[in-house]
Amino acid sequence: MNVRLLRIELRRSVAPWPGAVVLGGSLAVLFLVHGIWWEGTAGWTAQWTTMALWTRYLLGFWWSLVVGMGAVYGLRDSRSRMAELLTTTPLPAWHRAALPAGATALALASGFGLLVLVGGVEVALGATGYLPLGWLPISLVGALALVATAVFGMGVARALPSVLTPPALTVLFLLLTSLLQQSSDGVLPSSVVPNRLALLSPVTAEPREMLLTLSGSVDLGQTIWLLGLLGTGFALLSAVNRRARLLAVVPVLVGAALALLVLPAAPRDTYVVDRAAAALVCDGPVCVTQADRSRLPELALRSKEALRVLHDALGAQAPNSVREDTQLRALSDERRLSAGVLLVDFDDRLFADATGEQLTRALVAAGIAPSCFANNAREGGGQGYVAVQSIATSWALHDPRLRSLEGVSDDPYLSDVWAEAGVAWQRLLAMPPAAQRAQIAEVHATAVSCEGTGVGSGTDELSVLAGKVSR
Amino acid sequence: MRWLILYTRSRQVPTSAAAVALVALAAWVCNRDGGQGSTNPVTAALVLTAMVAAASVGLDGRDATLERTAAIRWLPRRAAHVLLIGALTGAALLAAQAAGATLAPTEVVLRDGAGLAGLAALGAVLCGAHLAWTLPTGWYAFAVVARLPDNTVGQVAGWMICPPGTAPSTDTALALLVTGTVLYAAAGARR
């Protein structure tokens, strides 16, 4: 009986719309806009956890629009001017409220669930072979957030039946979202308001570091708070008198109070490193994280060759192991390098899609002249430095002519750098072999210690190589 | 005059005007710095979106069937209604700025007011007046969250938060104003 009623409600009301809009809109944004969500190791289809976090990030617009759509649905009775008539139905008020609330919940949960399913299929078909279960609570809280806000919107619209209620709620939630928004530019995502308050918004920071996940206390606290919001929404929806409407505020207050006790106060306890994903898997001297396990066979094969080349080029100074770079860094911060270990950052443009011989070259480059600044989709720190890395790699691999590690760019600054690199390459080859080795060793020492001001741009090393500066 | 009073009442102008004034007051209180602070197109766009959303609920009367029988020309009245929404919301924000708040350069306010009013009219034509707010708020949310690239596509899609003097953004706002006004003037809100 109830299933039949629910089906009729879904077919004849606006209830399916929020779910359809969330699904269609998210897929349109994710697939039609080639945004940052497609880039790097924290892309939305790269890992299960990042997929869940990206769909939560999209709540940035959905949870404010969904509260408005819920309010429109909640205004149905008063818009058709039959709220008074419906109060005479011989059914308890909560019984009448349950049907539209259930229809909304079903539509939104299916819409968001299908979005996560699309993401899950993409991840499953992708390169990663790592399947954690920690992403499930992240997505479940996301679905709960949508349902709770929609029902809350319905309840508020029932209590304040004005045509202005839906836009007012939406704008209010948009404002709250932007106030509570966390930024992921720092070492750990943080916000301008106190951490506990910021976590009342279900919108997560933009995923940037693959290994970060939400801690359990965040999931628990947000669940409590959202259940409070849901309770208030439902109580408002089924309230028949002023006293019931006043009492309806209790669940959200209790939920917020309990949630503030549970939610962590520091960003350090909010986003935590997923230890299982960060555990190292090794093949001889080559180690990667569990999450990137699928890259190990190719990397191990190429590293063997690269380490041999590096040993020939640098002698005792050469790195003797290869490890995935897992440090958490603020945006545009310096990387921490060490002489004995070759750090591989899979976000780096050199390594992003490198396979085969290209991967060997990238490893040699990172071995002789590791860049102190990241060169990836978000940061362009080491772009000029690629010229120095190319010279070092071409020299170490005995290339007949200078081979660039990346495609030629039409940036006027970079073409200057490459012109200078051509001169430096000729100067280097003109030197006697022993002097060549000394030059390369000097480049290596400078690179590893991250000394000098223009390290990121590469102009310092180019001057050294071109012999302009005598040290 | 009597006609105008009745018309504004049928378009819920008193409620909308109160809401617009409230938003302007809130914007003034939150950004009050004596004109010294830095401008922020995102905040300005949010304030204008809120104002236009509040004004858009009156893009339809209480009884469309009854109104159709009136022997008056709706086309110029409807067009004027959309243009007035854009003009008055922009003026409300500029008044808040004149009183000492810093939000955005005048050019951005004019562009966003015009584009958002057109968008709200388009929303009324497509979804009905009670849902006209969905298009302005939806586009605002999209522009803010979607991290658009800094090329022509990004400047068109994020027209309301681009800095002043961005030609594609201004063109988009004008196109939205013209499309929305023409369609709404010709067809009226969807019932």
Please say whether the beta carbons of B160 and B140 come within 8 A: yes
Among residues A177, A53, A65, which one has the least CA distance to residue B139? A65
Which of A29, A75, A170 is nearest residue B137 as measured by Cβ atoms?
A: A170
Interface of A with B in 72-91 (CB under 8 A): 72, 75, 79
Mean pLDDT by 10 residues, chain A (471 residues): 87 93 93 86 91 93 93 92 86 90 96 96 89 93 97 96 93 92 88 92 92 94 97 94 94 97 93 92 92 91 92 88 90 84 89 85 90 83 80 89 76 78 86 88 85 53 57 35
- Check if the beta carbon of residue A261 is closer than 8 Å to that of residue A119: no
- Please report residues of A whose CB lies closer than 8 A to that of B141: 60-61, 64-65, 174
Q: Does A471 fall in a domain?
A: no
A interface test, pick of B47, B137, B140 with most A CB neighbours within 10 Å:
B137
- Give the closest of A72, A162, A206 to B131, CB-based: A72
Q: Rounded to a whole number, what is the distance in Å from the CA of B16 to chain A's nearest CA?
A: 8
Shared domain check, A283 and A267: no
- Tell me what pLDDT residue A253 has: 97
Say yes or no: A64 and A173 in one domain. Answer: yes
| B10 Cβ under 8 Å from any chain A Cβ | no
| Chain-chain contact of B137 with A162 (C-beta, under 8 angstroms) | no
Name the CA dihedral angle for A15, A21, A24, A27, rounded to a multiple of 10 degrees: -130
Angle subtended at Cα B13 by Cα B8 and Cα B17, rounded to the nearest 5 degrees: 145
- Structural domain count, chain A: 2
Is residue A32 less than 8 Å (CB to CB) from chain B? Answer: no
Rounded to a whole number of angstroms, the distance from the CA of A61 to the nearest CA of chain B is 5
d(CA B24, CA B93): 6
Can you give the pTM of this predicted structure? Answer: 0.91
- What is the predicted pLDDT for the residue at A429? 87
- Determine whether the interchain pair A68/B144 forms a contact, defined as Cβ–Cβ distance below 8 Å: no
The range of the structural domain enclosing residue A307 comes to 279-466
Positions of chain B with pLDDT under 70: 34-37
Given B15, B137, B149, which is nearest A65 (Cβ)? B137
Q: Which amino acid is at B151?
A: N
pLDDT of B88 reads: 94
pLDDT of residue B136: 95
Same domain, A42 and A190: yes
Asked if the Cβ–Cβ distance from B144 to A60 is below 8 Å, we say: yes
Q: For residue A264, how far is the Cα from the chain centroid?
A: 20
Euclidean distance between CA atoms A1 and B117, whole angstroms:
46
Pairwise CB contact (< 8 Å): B137 & A75: no
Where do the domains of chain B lie?
2-187
d(CA B54, CA A367): 61
- H or E, element range at B64: helix B64-68
Q: Which residues of B touch A64 (CB under 8 A)?
A: 137, 141
Asked if residue A391 belongs to a domain, the reply is yes
For residues B107 and B84, give the distance between their C-alpha atoms in angstroms, rounded to a whole number. Answer: 18
Option in A65, A166, A171 nearest B49 (CB): A171
Q: Are residues A337 and A234 in the same domain?
A: no
8 Å CB contact of A58 and B19: no
- Last residue within a domain, chosen from A253, A273, A293: A273
**CB within 8 Å: B145 and A60:** yes
- Say whether B130 and A79 touch across the interface (CB within 8 A): yes
Locate the chain A residue with the closest alpha carbon to B120.
A167
At A185, which amino acid appears?
Answer: D
Q: Are residues A317 and A376 in the same domain?
A: yes
Which residue is closest to B130 within chain A, CA to CA?
Answer: A163
CB contact under 8 A, A64 and B137: yes
What does the pLDDT read at residue A33? 83
Domain boundary among A238, A273, A308: A273
User: Is the same domain home to A56 and A175?
Assistant: yes
Domain shared by A83 and A115, yes or no: yes
Q: From A273, A304, A322, give the residue that closes a domain.
A: A273
The distance of B120 to chain A (nearest Cα, Å) reads 12
Distance (Å, whole) CA A417 – CA A459: 7
Query: Does one domain contain both A238 and A287?
Result: no
The per-residue b/e assignment along B98-118, b for 16 or more CB within 10 angstroms, e otherwise, is eeebbbbbeebbbbbbbbbbb
Tell me if B130 and A206 make a contact (CB, 8 A cut-off): no
List the single best residue of B11, B133, B191 to mutate versus A (max A Cβ within 10 A): B133
Does the beta-carbon distance from A164 to B145 stay under 8 Å? no
- At A348, list the tokens: 């780096």
pLDDT at A471: 35
* A34-53 residues touching B, CB cutoff 8 A: 34-36
Tell me if A202 is assigned to some domain. Answer: yes
**A192 interfacial to chain B (CB closer than 8 Å):** no
Contact flag B148-A171 (C-beta cutoff 8 Å): no
Q: Which of B16, B133, B145 sits opposite A61 (nearest CB)?
A: B145
Q: Is A149 on the interface with B (CB under 8 A)?
A: no
Is residue B134 classed exposed, middle or buried when 0-12, 13-18 and 19+ CB atoms within 10 A define those classes?
A: buried
- Note whether A267 and A396 are same-domain residues: no
Smallest CA–CA distance from A203 into chain B, residue: B145
Q: Which residues of B touch A171 (CB under 8 A)?
A: 23, 46, 49-50, 53, 137
Q: Are B133 and A178 inside 8 Å of each other by CB?
A: no
Q: Is A204 in the same domain as A310?
A: no
Q: Are residues A213 and A165 in the same domain?
A: yes
Q: Is the domain of A292 the same as that of A380? A: yes
CA-to-CA distance for B147 and B159, rounded, in angstroms? 13
Question: Would you state the pLDDT for residue A469?
Answer: 42
